[in-house]
Amino acid sequence: MRLSRSLIPTLKEIPAEAQIVSHRLMLRAGMVRQTASGIYAWLPAGLRVLQKISAIVRQEQNAAGVQELLMPTIQSADLWRESGRYDVYGKEMLRITDRHERELLYGPTNEEMITALVRDSVKTYRDLPQSLYHIQWKFRDEGRPRFGVLRGREFLMKDAYSFDLDYEGAVLSYRRMMLAYMRTFQRLGVRAIPMVADTGPIGGDLSHEFHVLAPTGESQVFYDSAFEDLDLNSANLDYENPDDMAAFFQRATNIYAATDEKHDSEAWAKIPADRKREGRGIEVGQIFYFGPKYSQAMGFSLAGPDGSKIIPEMGSYGIGVSRLVGAIIEASHDDAGIIWPDAVAPFSVALLNLKPGDAACDAMCEDIYRQFGDDILYDDRSERAGAKFAEADLMGHPWQIIVGPRGAAAGMVELKRRASGERFELPRAAALAKLQPGAA
């Protein structure tokens, strides 16, 4: 994309309404604009991040055998009366009445809807297990929206739901999802640690929150640094093999990690001092086994092979996609701006033409731009070099290709790595080769 033709309205000054760094940077980098309290429009650069995160989430869900569907944002109040939650859910639920005085709501979550859909579609126990997800906008009418997209009212979420015939099956679904989540976060380039979470009346150990570590996090978290060495992408684990899943789950949950609510000082004391890690976390995902809670309430049962009645065991699994954008920035920025992990940057590369109008600069930039495809932002404006550097750093592209008149005449470009600040003077072809996917 050419910056001269893009709607990426960067700001030099900090908007008064933004208090925390991710909110400020998202506004300043031209990614989002607030349109009402806690509701944001995603401008082109912000949308690209949302789409890159979504794509990775989608790939990992699909890889774990979860099927994608798309449920609506608007739901019927009657559906929620089936589970009894319509009257229980508080003011966070946005209730709407249509022209026929029918009661509707903007969905804050989809347990009821998915349960009804599966209930009405599944005919026999042979149709289970099922696991399904969608990536959809949700609305929770927070009393006090703040922190930009970290605590907005409208937010994009991946939510998945599993249906199994028995507890063992539900446990397997849960473990699969935990692995999928850890792989997802690893690919996104953020460290997210699964923390033991409150399971409420269900009990057991089948609820985890995933926290991204950032100084502005809302929770105090404690964990064993052994998590930092857990590489799950290279581990040869088969989602379909229960033994693999059990072994993985054992490994992951043996390492201590908890938020302050669930912090166990006895267990903490046993961890070697040099492995203790303590800090703040932003919750970006949660996985939860809740058994037959909704299937029972909503009359979802099947005849088993021996004729007995089976009430499916369920779980639900969320990833806050829009929230992740803020969380990643909280975890990865400096005074100059955002430092995007490679996988989620709106553009992997910024191409800075330091002297538009200079024949050598223009020719080289146009050539690079043409070769690179969609994932590059070409700063072709007639701004001063300093302004281009400042904006590129602000927007946080992982790489900058800097083309100046001196270098261009000699066929050289400068490559700058945003995260480290390293610069390399390279021939044009070598620079491009270095940036090809996988070459890094």
Partner RNA sequence: CGGAGCGUAGCGCAGCCUGGUAGCGCAUCAGUCUGGGGGACUGGGGGUCGUGGGUUCGAAUCCCGCCGCUCCGACCA
Nearer Cβ to RNA (90/438)? 90
Stretch that binds RNA, among 76-84, 225-233, 295-303, 379-387 (CB under 7 A): 379-387
Count of residues touching RNA (by CB under 7 A): 61
Non-local (6+) Cβ contacts of 173 within 8 A are 129, 131, 162, 164, 315
Which of 313, 414, 426, 432 lies at the binding interface for RNA (CB under 7 A)? 414
Q: How many CB atoms lie within 10 A of CB 386?
A: 9
Q: Which of positions 78-117 make contact with RNA (CB under 7 A)?
A: 90-92
What is d(CA 104, CA 97) in angstroms, rounded to the nearest whole number? 6
32 scored as a contact of RNA (CB under 7 A): no
Pair of tokens at residue 20 = 């925390």
| CB contact at 8 A, 278 and 221 | yes
Residues listed for the chain = 440
| CB contact at 8 A, 108 and 307 | no
Q: Which of positions 38-57 make contact with RNA (CB under 7 A)?
A: 38
355 scored as a contact of RNA (CB under 7 A): yes
Non-local (6+) Cβ contacts of 238 within 8 A are 244
Which of 112, 159, 379, 393 lies at the binding interface for RNA (CB under 7 A)? 393
Radius of gyration of the chain (CA): 24
194 scored as a contact of RNA (CB under 7 A): no
Amino acid at 216: T
Which of 2, 11, 73, 98 lies at the binding interface for RNA (CB under 7 A)? 11
385 scored as a contact of RNA (CB under 7 A): yes
Amino acid at 314: M
| CB contact at 8 A, 338 and 320 | no
422 scored as a contact of RNA (CB under 7 A): no
153 scored as a contact of RNA (CB under 7 A): yes
Nearer Cβ to RNA (145/291)? 145
143 scored as a contact of RNA (CB under 7 A): yes
Residues near RNA (CB under 7 A) are 10-17, 19, 28, 34, 36-38, 90-92, 140, 142-147, 150-153, 155, 209, 218, 283, 286, 320, 323, 336, 354-357, 382-387, 389-394, 402-407, 414, 416, 423
